[in-house]
Amino acid sequence: MEIPHQRLIYFQLTVETGSIRAAASRLAIAPSAVSRQIALLETAVDATLLERRRDGVCPTPEGELLLDYCHRRTRLDRHFSDALDAYQRLETGQITLYVGEGFVGDLIGHPLREFTESHRGIRLKIDTGSTREIIEAVVNDEAHIGLMYHEQVHPHLRFWQSTRQPLVLLMAPHHPLAESGSDPLTLAALADHPLALWHPGHGVRELVDLAFREAHQPLTVGIQTGSLEVLKHSARAGLCATLLPRFAAARELEEGSLVARDVLGQHFTQANAHMVTRVGRRMPRAGLQLLRHLQHWMRAFRCDDVTLDA
């Protein structure tokens, strides 16, 4: 049964004021118009809703049921209006991010702490995965925002910002390559040392494999892993050097437990960090606010002047 909202208002106001004439006065319309709308309402529900008395009107038992429905509908309308207002003021809602593991330290520190302190009603869901998993999550609307490395273009992704983040060699301060000067290293120099690398198929590993293959240099793999922490621990312990963007080991570089050397090669120097959403997806206001906040505060997106704002 579909009941026009306006007829419910006429009925409720008539009951609350006690007469059709008083309700018409409140509505600034003729009493006959109110009577006509209530008659149509009674026809729609197939029941008499008002009982006329000497001093006005009162609801019949069926009218009491409809009046209770009106009150509950009014509360639901008010609840929806309040919830929508809070959502639009960025006080409530959930934002889902799918990010490469190398972004986690950069993301969780100052950027998210400041954002959550300013938007305490916003819930954040954060998952990590490979570039392929990030793309799939964003394209399938499982995530509002993706942070990924290396991928350049995709027909279903909007690249909000892309920032040059070269792959560098990370190693312990006592590693032989850390003490061999300050000039960029060649792939031939790296070929003589074991490296801790992501498993085959990972985006960064594909970049490394491609660079060594095109340079016709052997790649000496000392450790393979799916964990960023294993890569960094291996480098800190001096077991192997590893290849990562600087932002993925910012804390270790600041404290001096790791040092970085640039590596020659277009595949390494042209790599980018990307902030993406799905093309055509309407972002919640809080999501747009978070995008701008991360663009400003994350190291991965403010270390270079090469940016693309779509």
* 3 state DSSP class of 262: strand
Residues 284, 158: one domain? Answer: yes
On whether both 229 and 297 belong to a single domain, the answer is no
Domain membership of residue 196 as a residue range:
167-269
Mean pLDDT by 10 residues, the chain (310 residues): 81 89 88 90 89 86 90 81 60 83 88 84 90 92 93 86 94 91 90 94 89 94 95 96 95 95 91 93 84 90 48
96 sits in which H/E element: strand 93-99
Q: Are 199 and 66 members of one domain? A: no
| Rounded-to-integer distance, Cα 112 and Cα 180, Å | 38
CATH number for 171: 3.40.190.290
Half-sphere exposure of 228 (CA within 13 A, CB side): 19
Give yes or no: residues 55 and 122 share one domain. Answer: no
- Considering the domain architecture, whether residues 263 and 194 belong to the same structural domain is answered as yes
Q: What local confidence, expressed as pLDDT, does residue 233 receive?
A: 97
170, 242 in Cβ contact below 8 A? yes
Q: pTM for the whole thing?
A: 0.68
Angle between helices 110-118 and 285-297 (to 10 degrees): 150
Domain count, the chain: 3
Nearest alpha-carbon partner for 236 in 188, 145, 172: 172
CATH number assigned to the domain comprising residue 76: 1.10.10.10
